[in-house]
Structure 1
Amino acid sequence: MKKALTILIICIFAGMTLGCASKPQGCVQGDCTNGPGKIQITGGLEYEGEFKEGKREGKGALMYPSGAVYKGAFKDNKMDGPGVYNWKSGEKYEGEFRNDKREGKGAYVFESGAKYEGEYKDNKRNGKGVYTWPTGDRYEGDWVNGKMQGAGTYAWKNGAKYEGGWADGKAHGEGTYLSKYGIKTVGIFENGKYKGKK
């Protein structure tokens, strides 16, 4: 009874500035200092998993008010290491995290059905990767800041294919285009269009 009264008094005073509608921050289960536990965080987040020196460290699950859920490794209160992030929409990322961002190798499945498998840096597609569209089209090659850039091959479902340079998501530089009828075009491409022979 005394504990409940204390909580009520705290809530009344806190309500003058913050209100009492949001979940209180604090440990609700287990040991939230060193070992397993469950904590409700200001803003509606909830974490259940391992702690070290009062921080999220080791394996755990972080639930967001939006319905998104991350399950995987934590370090110093952040997503760090292998993990799986599921959005309420159905989108999913499974792979490496560093400092709360997608970093390293991973696979991302989009709500549309598109899929990317490859390297990430700073939450974006960076490095080598394969992107497959719901239509069946497929790109395999270099990525920079989320866009096709460098060298890569784009294969259409109908059998056509382009292999060569890319810039800002478009065929750019030296390349070879093979039509669905088997007609080959070799030369220079700019902004996705053929400009002529080298």
Structure 2
Amino acid sequence: MYTLCTEGRTINSESLDLSEKVTMRSETLMKKDKLDNAIVLEDGLVYIGEMQNDERHGYGILIYPNGSILEGNWINGKANGICKLQYSQDEYYQGNILNNRFQGYGEYVNNNSSIYKGQWENNEKHGYGEEYFKNGSIYCGNFIRGMREGEGVYLSSNGSKYEGQFKCNMMEGDGIMFWGDGSTYKGQFQNNDINGYGVYTYPDGSYYEGYFINGKRNGIGSLIRYDGYEVSGEWEEDKFYKN
């Protein structure tokens, strides 16, 4: 969860210190019409921008004591519209804000972990979005209250691909998994693993249809080899147990 209240956050050691940021932003803003000089507020915030009725109103920049910067449009003292909240050189949010909350489309970038592009509601990822991880993995699909939930596609950095249902950030429900060696599985998932009934197809064309527990053949199932030979019955820990 990402909030506009940035108290307690630390900024990157390579980023500018607060005084440099104030000077830099002031020089930029003084070139614009109808912008006031920097105002230092009682809580340590620094605001540079337009005012109306003693409230932030119009275009302006708010600088937090820890160095984070919120830049964009203000209405009656609150950020509204397209804004940018810069936590550090490596981390920022840019997109729509409604009454100081991330709302609508926005992009959250953390160069040390991931990039998210998609919908937000009340400061959380909510709706359709795409998340690109530093290790090369990609998720495209639905989010609910900050978690991957509903239909989605996950492309792993190891070359595998999952299409199906998610719950609480995990593969959960019906889905299809494709592996780089040509293997596929279509069926039920639970806790990020193959659990329940499904069909697993091997690279040589053989396939197993039946029940799985934690990715292994367990319970009633049938293995049909590529040459037509069939083994049906009960399986335990990936091994045929009895007819």
Q: Please state which band the TM-score falls in when normalised by the shorter chain.
A: 0.7 to 0.9
Take 1:30 and 1:116, find their aligned partners in 2: how far apart are those partners?
Answer: 40
Q: Of 152, 161, 169, which residue of structure 2 is paired with 1:106?
A: 152
Equivalent residue, structure 2, for 1:24: 67
Q: In the TM superposition, what is the alpha-carbon distance from 1:112 to its structure 2 partner?
A: 1.5
Q: In the TM superposition, what is the alpha-carbon distance from 1:28 to its structure 2 partner?
A: 2.8
> Which structure would you say has the larger Rg?
2
Equivalent residue, structure 2, for 1:192: 238
Bigger Cα displacement from structure 2, 73-82 vs 42-51: 42-51
TM-score normalised per structure 1: 0.85
Assess if the C-alpha contact under 8 Å between 1:30 and 1:38 holds in 2. Answer: no
Take 1:181 and 1:55, find their aligned partners in 2: how far apart are those partners?
Answer: 61
Take 1:61 and 1:29, find their aligned partners in 2: how far apart are those partners?
Answer: 15
> What RMSD over aligned residues (CA atoms) do the two structures have, in Å?
2.4
Share of identical aligned residues, percent? 29
1:97 aligns with 2:140: no
Assess if the C-alpha contact under 8 Å between 1:165 and 1:173 holds in 2. Answer: yes
Counterpart code for 2:170: K
Q: Of 107, 112, 123, which residue of structure 2 is paired with 1:61?
A: 107
Equivalent residue, structure 2, for 1:13: none
Q: Secondary structure at the match of 1:34?
A: strand
Q: In the TM superposition, what is the alpha-carbon distance from 1:43 to its structure 2 partner?
A: 9.3
1:171 aligns with 2:214: no
Take 2:127 and 2:39, find their aligned partners in 1: how far apart are those partners?
Answer: 40
Take 1:43 and 1:164, find their aligned partners in 2: how far apart are those partners?
Answer: 52
Q: Deviations over 1:78-114 (max 9, x none)?
A: 1111000011232110000112111110000011111
Inter-CA distance 43–158: structure 2 relative to 1 (3 Å threshold):
same
Q: Deviations over 1:149-198 (max 9, x none)?
A: 1100000110110000111111111101011221101100111110011x
1:4-15 aligned within 5 A: 4=23
Q: In the TM superposition, what is the alpha-carbon distance from 1:49 to its structure 2 partner?
A: 0.4
Q: Which runs of 5 or more residues in structure 2 are unaligned?
A: 1-18, 24-37, 45-65
Assess if the C-alpha contact under 8 Å between 2:90 and 2:112 holds in 1. Answer: no
Q: In the TM superposition, what is the alpha-carbon distance from 1:116 to its structure 2 partner?
A: 0.2
Assess if the C-alpha contact under 8 Å between 2:163 and 2:176 holds in 1. Answer: yes
Q: Secondary structure at the match of 2:97?
A: strand
Take 1:30 and 1:155, find their aligned partners in 2: how far apart are those partners?
Answer: 55
TM-score normalised per structure 2: 0.70
Q: In the TM superposition, what is the alpha-carbon distance from 1:6 to its structure 2 partner?
A: 8.3
Q: Of 66, 69, 81, which residue of structure 2 is paired with 1:35?
A: 81
Equivalent residue, structure 1, for 2:188: 142
